C-alpha cells in the first residue's frame, strides 16, 4: 500500500487523526514508535533544525524534499509534507508535488501566501489573489492526477492564510474553491476563536485540518473537542521540538555549571543505540560475514 493510500484509509475511517510534527528522521521514527498513525513535516521546524533560520521562505525546495525523504525512508507511517507556496509559480507547484511524491510523502500541503512566505502564526503574512490561489491548487491537483496515471500517488492539502489578511469570509470562499478544484484536505489556518473554527467545520465539506500551535492564534483544544467541531486531522507541529530544545538547554546549563547531571531524565546510551538501529545492523553484519 502506498503512503497516500495509507493516509486515505485513515481519512475514510472514523475518528480524528492525531498527527505530531516531525523535523528529521529520528523525530519521525519516535512518532511511529509511540504508536501514532501519521506525522506532519513542519516547514517551521525543518527550517529551525536544518538551517537555524526563521520560517520566512529562506529554506529551499531541495532542502525540504531532502529532509522529507530521510523521514519517509526511516518510517512506515504516512507523512504529510509542508510544501509552502510550491516554491514558485504554478509550474513550480507541479514539480513540488511530483518531488514530494517521489520522496515518499503521503500528502503535500500547498498554501496561498505570497513568496517568500512565513509561519501562519507570525506577523506580516500576505496572500496571493483568489485567481492565483486557484491556479496554484489546480496545478497541484493536475500533478497528482498525472502521477496516478503513471502509477504514483500523493494527496493534496490546500491551505489558506486569508483569515489573517482578508477575514473569515474570504478564507471560507477559498476553502470552497479548493474543494471544487479537487483537493483532498483543506486547511483554514489561524482561526481566532472557537466560533470561527465551528464555522469552518460546519460550512466546508470534506476532511479538514486543525493546527495546534502552543501560544499560537488558534484556541488550543483537545482531540475530542476538535473532532466534535468537525476536524479530521489535527497537527501539533511544534510540540516535540519545543520539548526537546527545553531539555537540551537544561542539560547544557548543568554541564556548564559543573553540577552532577541527573542521568535518570535521559535515554541511556544503549536505548539510543536501539533507536538508531544498531541491533538490526549487528544482525545483518553477522548474516553477511565472510567465512
Give dist(CA 34, CA 41) in Å, integer: 17
Q: Residue 122: its pLDDT value, please?
A: 61
Task: Give the model's pLDDT for residue 37.
Answer: 98
Whether the ω angle into residue 265 lies within 30 degrees of 0, i.e. cis, is no
Residue 119: the pLDDT is 67
The CATH superfamily of 3-244 is Phosphoenolpyruvate-binding domains (3.20.20.60)
- How far from 280 is each of 36, 71, 270, CA to CA, in Å? 22, 18, 14
The reported pLDDT for the residue numbered 218 is 93
* Cβ-proximal residues to 2 (8 Å cutoff; 6+ apart), any chain: 106, 153
And the C-alpha cell for 9?
484509509
- The per-residue pLDDT for 211 is 97
Task: Return the SS3 of 127.
Answer: strand
Question: Which pLDDT score is estimated for 125?
Answer: 83
Q: Enumerate residues 6+ apart whose C-beta is below 8 A from 47.
A: 53, 54, 55, 58, 59
**pLDDT (0 to 100) of residue 116:** 75
Residue found under cell 489535527: 234
Q: Domain segments of the chain: what residues?
A: 3-244
State how far the Cα of 137 lies from the Cα of 159, in Å rounded to an integer: 10
Residue that has been written with the C-alpha cell 502521477 in this structure: 147
Find out whether 23 and 49 touch, Cβ atoms under 8 Å.
Answer: yes
What's the gap between Cα 82 and its chain centre? 5
Per-residue pLDDT reduced to its tens digit, 19-51 = 999 999 999 999 999 999 999 999 999 999 999
Divide the 291 residues of the chain into consecutive groups of 10 and give the mean pLDDT of each group. 97 98 98 98 96 92 97 98 95 98 98 80 82 98 97 97 95 98 97 97 98 93 97 97 95 88 87 94 93 72
How far is residue 260 from each of residues 17, 245, 250, measured CA to CA in Å?
42, 20, 13
Buried residues in 2-35 as b, exposed as e (16+ CB within 10 A)? ebbebbbebbeeeebbbbbbbbbbbbbbbbbeee
Q: What confidence tens digit (pLDDT) does each residue in 138-165 have?
A: 999 999 999 999 999 999 999 999 999 9
Per-residue confidence (pLDDT) for residue 290, from 0 to 100: 82
Q: Which residues contact 108 (CB under 8 A, 6 or more apart)?
A: 80, 81, 83, 96, 97, 100, 101, 140, 154, 155, 156, 157
Which letter does DSSP use for residue 163 in this model?
Answer: G
Amino acid at each position: 500500500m502506498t503512503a497516500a493510500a495509507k493516509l486515505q484509509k485513515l481519512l475514510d475511517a472514523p475518528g480524528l487523526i492525531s498527527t505530531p510534527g516531525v523535523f528529521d528522521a529520528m523525530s519521525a521514527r519516535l512518532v511511529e514508535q509511540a504508536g501514532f498513525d501519521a506525522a506532519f513535516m513542519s516547514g517551521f521546524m525543518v527550517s529551525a533544525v536544518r538551517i537555524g533560520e526563521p520560517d520566512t521562505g529562506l529554506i529551499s525546495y531541495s532542502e525540504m524534499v531532502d529532509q522529507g525523504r530521510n523521514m519517509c525512508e526511516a518510517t512506515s507511517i504516512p507523512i504529510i509534507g509542508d510544501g509552502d507556496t510550491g516554491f514558485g509559480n504554478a509550474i513550480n507547484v507541479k514539480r513540488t508535488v511530483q518531488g514530494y511524491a517521489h520522496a515518499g510523502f503521503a500528502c503535500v500541503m500547498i498554501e496561498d501566501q505570497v513568496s517568500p512566505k512565513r509561519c501562519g502564526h507570525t506577523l506580516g503574512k500576505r496572500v496571493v489573489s483568489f485567481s492565483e490561489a486557484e491556479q496554484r491548487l489546480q496545478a497541484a491537483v493536475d500533478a497528482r492526477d498525472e502521477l496516478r496515471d503513471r502509477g504514483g500517488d500523493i494527496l493534496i492539502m490546500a491551505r489558506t492564510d486569508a483569515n489573517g489578511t482578508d477575514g473569515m469570509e474570504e478564507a471560507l470562499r477559498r476553502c470552497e474553491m479548493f474543494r471544487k478544484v479537487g483537493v483532498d484536505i483543506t486547511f483554514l489556518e489561524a482561526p481566532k476563536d472557537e466560533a470561527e473554527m465551528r464555522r469552518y467545520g460546519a460550512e466546508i465539506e470534506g476532511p479538514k485540518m486543525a493546527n495546534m500551535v502552543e501560544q499560537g492564534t488558534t484556541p488550543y483544544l483537545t482531540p475530542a473537542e476538535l473532532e466534535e467541531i468537525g476536524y479530521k486531522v489535527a497537527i501539533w507541529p511544534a510540540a516535540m521540538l519545543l520539548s526537546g530544545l527545553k531539555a537540551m538547554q537544561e542539560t547544557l546549563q548543568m554541564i556548564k555549571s559543573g553540577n552532577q547531571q541527573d542521568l535518570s531524565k535521559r535515554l541511556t546510551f544503549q536505548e539510543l543505540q536501539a533507536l538508531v538501529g544498531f541491533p538490526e545492523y549487528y544482525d545483518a553484519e553477522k548474516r553477511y560475514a565472510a567465512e
